[in-house]
Amino acid sequence: MFRFLFCRRKYGILIIQILSCYQLNQIALRSIMEPFNTPLKIREISLPHRAVFGPMAGFTDAPARRLMAQHGAGFTVSEMVSSRALVYGDHKTVSLLKAEPNGAPYGVQIFGEVPEIMGQAAAAVEQYAFDFLDINMGCPAPKIVSGGAGSKLMLDPDRCGRIVEEVVKNTSRPVTVKMRKGWDAEHVTAVECAKACEQAGAVLIAVHARTREQMYTPGIDPSIIAAVKDAVHVPVLGNGDIRTAEDAVRMVEETGCDGVMIARAALGDPWLFERVNAALEGLPRPQGAEPAGPDECPAPAGGGDGGAEGRVRCHAPGPGPDHALHEGPEGGRQPAALLL
């Protein structure tokens, strides 16, 4: 099937070019992907790549962040930390903020439901080394939402805006937000919350395309990411079910998002960032950027309770971060990130 481009002139019709549908599709795809060859900016911060490593409680510690950055993560984020604990100066909480140079911008993520306390927490972390401050509006854990924080905030767009406003007021760093599609099927509020956050000063928004009710069940709704992208003027990252380079390209094509956030799928497969970056930037698939095997990778010698005999499951499916666990010879289980 061909599309003909005609140039009408006085003496007839001159066919100036014939483009096949395949060629047109390739041109359209290149136009979509072209921006991915340029750095994405979070205010004054330029990201080396547009595939980033999302925060996960119990997993995104300093060694895990370093590993993902070495494999091409555009930025990394700390485990979420409690705004109240930061205000009270809890030493265990502060230890989660440990930063070390890894070649990629590093963000600290805080959570809470009281705007004023979130602002105080932002001021409390100013003394530490990090590049941007992220606000958690997506955590579905019962102990977080029961207190009104995390994805529970998706029920109150006005509160979302007031939280961002207080945080922006109390930090010199760029402020970003991680949110979900909404609370449940009756409360799909990502667009309203994103608008409120942008108006209050957020400079980037990451959207997990599931509601809190869905938790991590298979299947995402790319249309909500597209809707948020259309509604705001700041960069939008798409998140959810990105397990392959093809998944990342598909998300960009379907939503128009400015980048992708990868979390669970990178546990045990940090090479995923190399493959995704190559696909998004129009580069050849990198050689050797694959896990050791389809089922498991050898754990580092002496790592975790299992020592050199332990294994890390690379591709075991699961509803949440618990799908990547270290299993020692006695069945002892530790988060894989502790080994990385």
- Burial class from Cβ neighbours inside 10 Å (0-12, 13-18, 19+) for residue 216 reads middle
| Residue 155 · residue 149 · CB < 8 Å | no
Strand partners, 17: 5
Q: Residue count of the chain, please give it.
A: 340
The catalytic position among 7, 139, 160, 314 is 139
The amino acid at 252 = V
The amino acid at 272 = L
DSSP 187: B
d(CA 78, CA 137): 15
**How many Cα atoms sit within 13 Å of 115 on the Cβ side?**
15
Helices (H), the chain: 21-33, 62-70, 83-88, 91-95, 115-124, 142-145, 157-169, 190-200, 222-231, 245-255, 272-280
Task: Give exposure, 24-59, as e/b (b: 16+ Cβ within 10 Å).
Answer: eeeeeeeeebeebeeebebeebebebbbbbbbbbeb
d(CA 321, CA 263): 8
Q: Is 139 a catalytic residue?
A: yes
Q: Tokens 């005609």 — which residue?
A: 6
Handedness of CA 60, 63, 64, 68 (dihedral sign): positive
d(CA 45, CA 169): 19
Residues annotated as catalytic are: 139
